[in-house]
Amino acid sequence: MERCPFENELILVSNRGPISYTRGEDGELKTVRGGGGLVTALLGVAASCEITWIASAMTPEDAEISIRVGGGSTKVTHDEHRLGLRFVVSDPEVYNKFYNIIANPLIWFIQHYLWDLSVVPDIRHNEFEAWENGYQVVNREFADVVCDELDARGNERPVVMLHDYHLYTCPSLVRERHPEAFLHQFVHIPWPQSDSWRVLPRHIRQAIVRGLLANDIVAFHTQRYVRNFLVSCEELIGAEVEVDFARSVVIVAGREVWVRAYPISIDCADFERLAESESVLEEERYIEALRREYLVLRVDRMDLSKNIVRGFKAFDMFLDDHPEFKQRITFLALLQPSRGDVKEYNTYRQQIMREVEVINTKHGTTNWMPIDVRMQDNFMRSVAAYKQFDVLMVNAIYDGMNLIAKEAGLINRHDGVLILSENTGAHEELGEYCLSVNPFDLESQSEAIYQALIMEKDEKSRRAGMIRDTVKHNDIQKWIETQFVDIKAKMTEKAEAT
C-alpha cells in the first residue's frame, strides 16, 4: 500500500481501540484485539501511516496501563504495525451512561430506525442526565486528550480522524481550542432521514449536528446517507448553515465542511490468506461435519438492526411451502453476543431463542434440527462458514455497510447466493448481483431462499464472480486512499483560504 500522501501524522480516535489488555490465568497482562469491522478497517490505515490511536479504556487493565504511562501513549505492535495507543479512562458510571443509555440504545436506535415510537423511547431525567453527565463528559474527555496530542505536536499539524456515533460532540470541543486543527469524522452507521432526529430534544439533536459540522470532512458509506445528512443540516439547524447540495458542502461559521461518501471494504489479500490458514481449515472440517446438502448461513452481531427473528420466520415459511427440502437443509446462525448490558438486547436474545425453539419443534425431527444457532464469538468458525454457504442471509433492517456480505462473498467456494436487504450500505455496490429483499417482507425473503436454492449453476457462478470482482475492485486500500486524496485537497483549500 502507498504511504500517506501527506507528511502529517494521523491521530485516530474511536471508542473501541485496536487492542485491549486483560490478565491471563497466570496473572500476566495479555492483549486482545478489539472486535468488529471498524478496528480491522482502521488497522489498514495504521499500515500506511504513522498513527497514534486514542480509544476508551475498556478493561481495568487498560486503565492500569494508562496509569503506568502517566496517561500518555504506549507503543504497541499489531499485525506487525507499530502504533501509539492512548487510552481515555472514564469513570465506570459515566461510561455506562455514555455507552449503555445514550450511544446504545438511544442514538443507535434512531440511526437504525429501531424505536417503536408509539411506546418508546421515554426521554426523562435519566436520559437528560445521561446526556450531560455521560455522553458529553466522555466526549469532553476525548477532546482533552486530542487537544493534548495537538498541543504536543505544535506546528506539525497532524490530521485527526474521528470515528462513529460515540463521538459526535467531541469535534466542536476540539475546534474551540484548536481552530486550525484538521478534523475528519467517519460515521459508520446509517444517517437517517432528518425527522428521525426529532425523537431527541432540540438541544441534544442540535448539539449532534453542530458537533459533526466542526469537522472539515464528514464521511459516510453511501450517497444516501450523505443526502440525508445534508437535509438534516438544513432541517435541524437551518438558520446557522448554508447547504450546497450540488457541491455536497455545508457552510457554517465561515467554514466549508465537505460531506462525502466512501464505501468501506475489506483487505482482500489478507482475508484470502486468512481463509487458507490452519485454524480456519480446522473449523471448516467442523462445518462440513454439521452441514447437510444445503447450508443457509447468517453471521451477525446479535443486534436488533440485523433482523434475525424475521430471517427465521422467513425460513419457517420456506419450509412450509417447500417441504421437499426438509432434512436436506440447515440454517446455521453464528451470532456474536453484543451489548449485554442494554436491556433491549437481552430481550431480543430471548426472542431469538423462543422463535428458534418454535420453528425447530414444528419442523425438526429426532435427527434433524432445521435451525442451528451458536451464540459465541468465534471468528475463525465464521470465516470457515463463509467458505461453505449455499445461501447467505443478510436481511438487516438498516445497516451502515455490512461487511459480512463482502467478506463472505469474497471467499465462498460454493458459488453461494447472497440474499441482501435493500437497506444495507452494501446494497449500493452489490445490489445487482444478489437477491434483493425488503427486510420486512417475509414473503420475499422466503421466496429468495427458494430461488437461491434452485438457481441455475451458471447464473450462481456469474453472480458470485461479480460479487468477488466488485469487492476486489473496491477494497480497503481504495477506501483509505480516496479519503487521503480528499484530505489532501481539503488541506490545500484551507491553506489557500488563510
**Contacting positions for ligand G6P (CB under 6 A):** 15-16, 36-38, 104, 164, 188-189, 338-339, 400
Supply the minimum distance, in Å, between the C-beta of residue 491 and ligand G6P.
26
Q: Are 314 and 407 in contact (CB under 8 A)?
A: no
Question: How many angstroms separate the CA atoms of 370 and 296, rounded?
Answer: 10
Cell of 370: 432445521
Cis peptide before 370 (omega within 30 of 0): no
DSSP per-residue codes, 123-186: --HHHHHHIIIIIHHHHHHHHHHHHHHHHHHGGG-PEEEEESGGGSSHHHHHHHH-TT-EEEEE
Supply the minimum distance, in Å, between the C-beta of residue 5 and ligand G6P.
25
Supply the minimum distance, in Å, between the C-beta of residue 187 and ligand G6P.
8
Nearer to ligand G6P, 19 or 38 (CB): 38
CA angle 92-163-102, nearest 5°?
45
Supply the minimum distance, in Å, between the C-beta of residue 37 and ligand G6P.
6
Supply the minimum distance, in Å, between the C-beta of residue 421 and ligand G6P.
15
Cell of 260: 462525502
Supply the minimum distance, in Å, between the C-beta of residue 406 and ligand G6P.
13
Report the relative pairing of strands 10-14 and 159-163 from DSSP bridges. Answer: parallel
Nearest residue to ligand G6P on Cβ basis: 188
Q: Are 94 and 133 in contact (CB under 8 A)?
A: yes
Burial zone of 481 (CB within 10 Å; 0-12 exposed, 13-18 middle, 19+ buried): middle
Q: Are 264 and 37 in contact (CB under 8 A)?
A: yes
Phi, psi of 363 (to 5 degrees): -105, -25
DSSP secondary structure letter of residue 307: -
Strand order of the β-sheet with 391-394 is: 371-375, 329-336, 294-301, 391-394, 417-421, 435-437
Nearer to ligand G6P, 63 or 391 (CB): 63
Nearer to ligand G6P, 22 or 451 (CB): 22
Supply the minimum distance, in Å, between the C-beta of residue 42 and ligand G6P.
10
Supply the minimum distance, in Å, between the C-beta of residue 27 and ligand G6P.
27
Nearer to ligand G6P, 127 or 399 (CB): 399
Nearer to ligand G6P, 84 or 400 (CB): 400
Supply the minimum distance, in Å, between the C-beta of residue 433 and ligand G6P.
22
Distances (CA, A) of 382 to 79, 224, 248: 20, 30, 38
Q: State the Cα torsion 127-353-282-390 to the nearest 10°.
A: -100
Supply the minimum distance, in Å, between the C-beta of residue 212 and ligand G6P.
15
Nearer to ligand G6P, 10 or 38 (CB): 38
CB within 8 Å of 297: residues ≥ 6 apart: 331, 332, 333, 334, 385, 386, 388, 389, 391, 392, 393, 408, 416
Question: How many angstroms separate the CA atoms of 243 and 383, rounded?
Answer: 43
Strand locations in 347-481, DSSP E? 371-375, 391-394, 417-421, 435-437
